Amino acid sequence: MPRPITLFTGQWADLPFEEVARLASGWGYDGLEIACWGDHLDPWQADDDGYVQGKLDLLEKYGLSVYAISNHLKGQAVCDDPIDARHEAILSAKVWGDGDPEGVRQRAAERMKDTARAAAAFGVDVVTGFTGSSTWHMLYSFPPNDFDAIERGYDEFAERWGPIIDVYDAEGVKFALEVHPTEIAYDFVTTRKSLDALGNRPGFGINLDPSHFAHQFLDTAAFAIEFADRIYHVHVKDSRRFLDGRSSILGGHLNFGQPQRGWDFVSPGHGDVDFEAFFRALNRIGYAGPLSIEWEDSGMDREWGAQDALAFVRRTDFAPSAVAFDAAMQRDA
């Protein structure tokens, strides 16, 4: 049986939730990964049975399943340093409050716990999201880093996220970090360190999104094999490098979609991700969860793209073999 294909609603939060559900259903998606922003899902209302039931009824109306809930934006605030205007812009007034960094971090952490409870209320066992990072701004070591400070960043991450994961464990929900620049884990080395910092507890795993790997020249398929037992959720998103000697791979403080960028997000199948190798790796590790299309391409019509992406995944995500070829050829007449 093929893996279900879902649409991540995060990039559609300008539309009402029902409109997104109606579109996704019409295009043939199997379900949604619901973002906790816009009117799509408010985890603070998850203890309101009517609110939850209303959402579930609406999904049933459109024949859609939910395999994961996303709360990237608040997760980002849990560890970040500095906390500044960029966070104010993406957090609700309740979480931002007076903007005192430590207060923001703690309120964000509480919301992440609530999200576990909301997921449980929805009957969903994975929450995807970000963690933030207190050391990301030290990426390029100049002025020279005190590398002990980098190590302390993992300690701080563990101190802040340990109690959150306790709630996830209690609720029977797993948290899946989207490995991503600006987060505590963004490549092989930092993912290993992050998992180690939390003692490799099962409550904390990975939402594997290959679009953040391609521009780092990382091999997503190898990553899936390496961290096989912690791949809890998968994003289908692509990125493409545009390296002509005049555009930096760093992106260069340019917004997505600006032509001088050295790389950008593109619709799945239009970029540098080797999805066939990636899906073969998912077959090998036995990943049976959803493939969630996080659609973002600043050069393509969004609705055209969401359909193109679905068709691309349907024709690329094949099931593994159940036959041993040697056996079939073993004995002649």
331 touching a copy of itself, by CB under 8 A: yes
52 touching a copy of itself, by CB under 8 A: no
Q: Cβ closer to a copy of itself: 44 or 166?
A: 44
98 touching a copy of itself, by CB under 8 A: no
30 in Cβ contact with 6 (< 8 Å): yes
50 touching a copy of itself, by CB under 8 A: no
Please, which of residues 11-30 interact with a copy of itself by CB under 8 A? 11-14
4 touching a copy of itself, by CB under 8 A: no
Q: In the stretch 109-148, what mask flags binding to a copy of itself with x, by CB under 8 A?
A: --------------------------xxxxxxxxxxxxx-
38 touching a copy of itself, by CB under 8 A: yes
Lookup: tokens for 221: 């398929």
Q: How far is CA 194 from CA 18, 156, 227, 283, in A?
A: 37, 11, 12, 25
Q: DSSP string spanning 67-125?
A: EEEE-HHHHHHHH-SS--HHHHHHS-HHHHTT--HHHHHHHHHHHHHHHHHHHHHHT--
Please, which of residues 225-254 interact with a copy of itself by CB under 8 A? 225, 243-254
91 touching a copy of itself, by CB under 8 A: yes
**φ, ψ at 32 (rounded to 5°):** -130, 150
The whole-angstrom separation of Cα 162 and Cα 176 is 14
Give the three-state DSSP class for 62. Answer: coil
78 in Cβ contact with 15 (< 8 Å): no
Q: Cβ closer to a copy of itself: 41 or 173?
A: 41
Q: DSSP string spanning 121-179?
A: HHT--EEEE----SSGGG-S--SPP-HHHHHHHHHHHHHHHHHHHHHHHHHT-EEEEE-
Q: Cβ closer to a copy of itself: 61 or 304?
A: 304
Among 16, 49, 276, 286, binds a copy of itself (CB under 8 A): 276
Q: Which amino acid is at 55?
A: K
Longest pairwise C-alpha distance within the chain? 82
Among 149, 196, 201, 229, binds a copy of itself (CB under 8 A): 149
Q: Cβ closer to a copy of itself: 166 or 222?
A: 222
102 touching a copy of itself, by CB under 8 A: no
62 touching a copy of itself, by CB under 8 A: no
Please, which of residues 277-306 interact with a copy of itself by CB under 8 A? 280, 283-284, 296-302, 304-305
Distance in Å, CB of 209 to a copy of itself, minimum: 13
Among 28, 63, 82, 99, binds a copy of itself (CB under 8 A): 82
74 touching a copy of itself, by CB under 8 A: yes
